[in-house]
Structures are given as C-alpha cells and as structure tokens.
Amino acid sequence: MIFRNIALILILGCCACRQSQDPAPVVYGDNAAAGHYLNIRGIRLYYETYGEGEPLLLLHINGGSIRNFSNQIPWFATKYHVIAVDTRAHGKSVDPGDSLTFEQMADDFNALLDSLHLDSCNVVGWSDGGISALQLAIRHPEKVRKLVVSGPNIYPDTTGLVPFIYHYLERLDDTLKQKPQTQEVKNQRKIVELDLKEPHDMTLDQLQGIHCPTLVMGGDHDGIPSYHLWLISQHIPQSYLWIVPNSGHSVAIYKKDQFNAVVGDFLAQPYRRIEGLDVLH
C-alpha cells in the first residue's frame, strides 16, 4: 500500500510538472511575443504578426480588436504571414483625434504595409474592417492582391444597415452625449459616430474601380441587408458573393470552420472567368 501511494504521488507529480511546463494559451490581441507598435500619421498603431508565407492583413469590426479573429489567426498562420491590426482608436491603438473616417484607416494600413516593406498583400476585413478594406483597394489598389469583405456597407443609413441596428446606434450616441465627456467616453462616441456618419462618400462607381479578385460575404440574417451585399458584389468586376445560411453578422465566429475553409479556398485558387461566369474551379 505504501509503495502504491508513493507511486501514485510520483505519477501525479509528473503530471503536474508536465502541466506546469505546457505553454500558456495565446491571447490574440494581447500577445507581447507577437505585438508591435508603429507611430504613424499622428497615432500609435498596434499590430501582431504570426506565421510565414504570403502576407495576409486582418481588419476587425467596429468596437472590436485583433481578438475578434482568434478563430482565424492560428488557422491562417499555418499558410500565411498574418498581420492583425487594432485599427485607430480600437484595442491597443491610440488615437488622440476627435473623429474617425474609413479613408484615415485605409491610409493607416497603407503606411503600415510600407513600414513592413510589403508592396501588396491579401486582405480580409470584417464589418467596419471590410469597409476599410474596400477603401484600401480604392485608394491604394496596388496594395491589395485579393480581397475578402464580410458584412461591409457603403451607405451609413437604413439602406446600408438594417433599421434596428441604425436606430440602436442613434440611441447609443445620444446616451454617450449625456455622460461626462471623459477621454474614454469621447473615444466611444467617435467609434459609434463612425457607423452613423460613414462611409459618407463611397460610390458604386468607385467599387467598379476595384480590380482585384474579391469575395463579398455575409449572413442571411446579417445587420447588413443581403440586397446591399449583392449590390456591392455586382459593382466589383472580379467578385463572388457568399450569403451564409442561418447566420448573422458574426460569420467568422459562429460559422468559423466554414469561414476559414471558404476564405482559404478563395485565397488559394486563381480567379477565372469562363463564358461570362465567374468561377473558382
């Protein structure tokens, strides 16, 4: 019995030792080993890099951070050099300005790519990240090889957002205006007002100037109407449209396996036009 107890203690001790030596799980968006800061254009931009290969830029949702792509970073880092960014005024990125525009953000990403000596990359943008990605492809077309946009909109009203979402943002903005205007509240207001006022001048004609292969996607119960996603897709010459069944705005989270597989396939396959039909294979 004594020997059995000693053996059990040794086994448990070895297990505890192994557990203590296991690496801590990566917290995307708060990973000192992968994190970097870049002082550009009057802001302090935070980004993280993972993996090797063709560069892939990930752009998150309004009010979010790099952490929104926790389901994507480890998957794509096995094939790509992933660059995940906290957009200005979000996450760890510091922005002292009093307002935001998607043009600002697109130019931030262009400056980031220049600092990394990258002449171009693939881009995946979700929600506001998708709008910024569209602006990047419009303003700096040479920088975007392939483009994926999930749940973007080009009109800041109830044609580009379902009415419930738009009116919620209006009420939230009114609530924030009534609070003491601390720096945190001011930052929250400019993030909310970004979606109430922007994008204010993106046009369908500008979308026609995007010539990189593009995947436009969203859920069939998205906060962005399916018709609006279709409209965006129809005005980008080399585009595909994927409306995900039984899904809302967060396809990258609740349909992560499908998202990763379809986006991965799109990035890997050449775009081909056959007899007027756009196909992957």
Domain ranges of the chain: 30-273
Residue listed under structure tokens 């931030």: 108
Give the pLDDT score at 201: 77
Position 211 confidence tier, pLDDT thresholds 50, 70, 90: very high
**pLDDT above 70: residue 277:** no
Q: Which two tokens stand for residue 114?
A: 């220049």
- Among residues 214, 209, 221, the alpha carbon closest in space to that of 254 is found at 221
The single-letter DSSP state of residue 16 is: H
**Confidence band of 158 (pLDDT split at 50, 70, 90):** confident
Residue 265 to residue 102: CA distance in whole angstroms? 28
Q: Tell me the mean pLDDT in the region 29-45.
A: 96
Q: What does the pLDDT average to over 6-33? A: 63
Q: Hey, what CATH topology would domain 30-273 get?
A: Rossmann fold (3.40.50)
249 Cβ contact list (under 8 Å, min separation 6):
127, 151, 218, 219, 222, 223, 224
Q: How many residues does the chain have?
A: 281
Between CA 97 and CA 175 the distance in angstroms is 21
In 3D space, the residue among 180, 107, 182 whose CA is nearest the CA of residue 140 turns out to be 107
Peptide bond before residue 199 is cis, with ω within 30 degrees of 0: yes
Cα of 134 vs its chain's centroid, Å: 12
The one-character DSSP state at 201 is: S
Model-level pTM? 0.87
Mean pLDDT along residues 42-48: 97
